[in-house]
Structure 1
Amino acid sequence: MTRASLDKQPHEVAAMFDDVAAKYDLTNDVLSLGQSRLWRKAVARAVAARPGERVLDLAAGTGTSSLPFAAAGAYVVPCDFSLGMLREGKRRHPRLPLTAGDATRLPFADGVFDAVTISFGLRNIQDTQAALRELLRVTRPGGRIVICEFSHPTWRPLRTVYTEYLMRALPPVATAVSSSPDAYVYLAESIRAWPDQAGLAARLGKAGWAKVAWRDLTGGIVALHRGVKP
């Protein structure tokens, strides 16, 4: 198999991310037309990490997404299931406590984090509901979750242009800048198959999160979902 199917077999998805680890952050900047940096800033503001807090950054990849939380004085744990990503992250950020972990069976005790967050990773997990329940388990009562994920543009003309970009422009651009363009064909297909904003909010509520809300970024291409552990 040259790319992970939408069945999202964990070992296949992990191997795919292993292959793109070295150029992952650069490729994302190019493919998102620079928007990925703005999205990371929005996540950091939404998490609002404070000094002394414990933050879990799930699907952290190379750890780039974890840096704002560390800069805010929080103790951040970047966690990912791709060993290739973690190795690249350790090379770049040797002080971060990068941790290997399966999102559906996290290697942490109950209620140890003040905040948990995952950016552009929930879509790649085979059992989304199990991951949302696991994130709830490791969060303290009153703690918060922030999810940044691709979503559905709310303006129809933008939705049409975006869909065309995903399926026609993204693969050739990925071929030019990525070491594994097949991974970005999977990316496009997985985005199209992902639920809309209300659909993800419903999944959060079903997993036990309270006060669920979302905010659209870039016209709904990306959405920030938030919730609180009762």
Structure 2
Amino acid sequence: MFDNVAEGYDRTNAVATMGLEKLYWRPETFKEVAPRKGMKILDLAAGTGASSIKLREAGAEVVSCDFSVGMLRVGKRRYPELDLIAGDALQLPFADDTFDVVTISWALRNVNDVTVALREMLRVTRPGGRLVVLEQSHPTWKPFRIVYLEYMMRAVPVVAKAVSTNPEAYEYLAESTRAWPAQEPLARTIEASGWTRVQWRNLTGGLVAIHRAVKPA
């Protein structure tokens, strides 16, 4: 599915989120990751590398991993300096205790087994290392939540038809967002997977949330 939307993926996201994804949500995630020189970061489900390149420019050693070869091809063309690797979140092709930070954006809800994926992220993170997850979430104000879900189910597919090469994929994304757990249940799932000090921060009234956690030392 993602191979077919790779070329226009970033453009469609920018339009569908009215610019919030690029101008606010990803920069806030960047702050949570807090990259610095020499830090080893796994950008999981990195897509076309739009976030990876920012982390690399901050001096971090970044590995961009994605299940979609089509996404990686687009990323390699745009950012040839990135280290791009095809891999499955359920069986990551990395040794234990490799990374200082593992980050994943807009993709945890797409894996077949969230708990297995979180445990794999834990495995490849060094003791004391961190997890940063950016994902769609549940607005905290009920009337806003109702309007938002209607927008996701009705407007996003319409926008996708106008700007995406594979609008059917965005119908799936809207459905997966509706079925995704709220902030607290997701935090419990992260904790049950072995992570500690799990916290989250709502952005834009809970439209999205950043969850963060630490691997036990």
Same fold (TM over 0.5): yes
Taking the TM superposition and a 5 Å limit, the aligned residue runs for 1:77-156 are: 77-156=63-142
Q: Which AA in structure 2 matches 1:140?
A: R
Give the Å deviation of 1:228. 0.2
Output the CA distance in 1 between the equivalents of 2:46 and 2:56: 13
Output the CA distance in 2 between the equivalents of 1:170 and 1:210: 35
Q: Which AA in structure 1 matches 2:18?
A: L
Give the Å deviation of 1:168. 1.2
| TM-score for the superposition, normalised by structure 1 | 0.93
| TM-score for the superposition, normalised by structure 2 | 0.98
Identical columns (%) = 61
Taking the TM superposition and a 5 Å limit, the aligned residue runs for 1:159-178 are: 159-178=145-164
Output the CA distance in 2 between the equivalents of 1:214 and 1:82: 28
Provide the residue aligned with 1:26 in structure 2: 11
**1:1-40 Cα deviation digits (max 9, x unpaired):** xxxxxxxxxxxxxxx1000000000000000010101111
1:22 match: secondary structure: coil
Q: Which residues of structure 2 form unaligned runs of 5+? A: none
Give the Å deviation of 1:65. 1.2
Consecutive aligned runs of 4 or more in structure 1 exceeding 4 Å deviation = none
Q: Which residues of structure 1 form unaligned runs of 5+? A: 1-15
Output the CA distance in 2 between the equivalents of 1:127 and 1:88: 27
Taking the TM superposition and a 5 Å limit, the aligned residue runs for 1:67-86 are: 67-86=53-72
CA RMSD for the aligned pairs? 0.6
Give the Å deviation of 1:52. 0.2
Output the CA distance in 1 between the equivalents of 2:75 and 2:69: 10
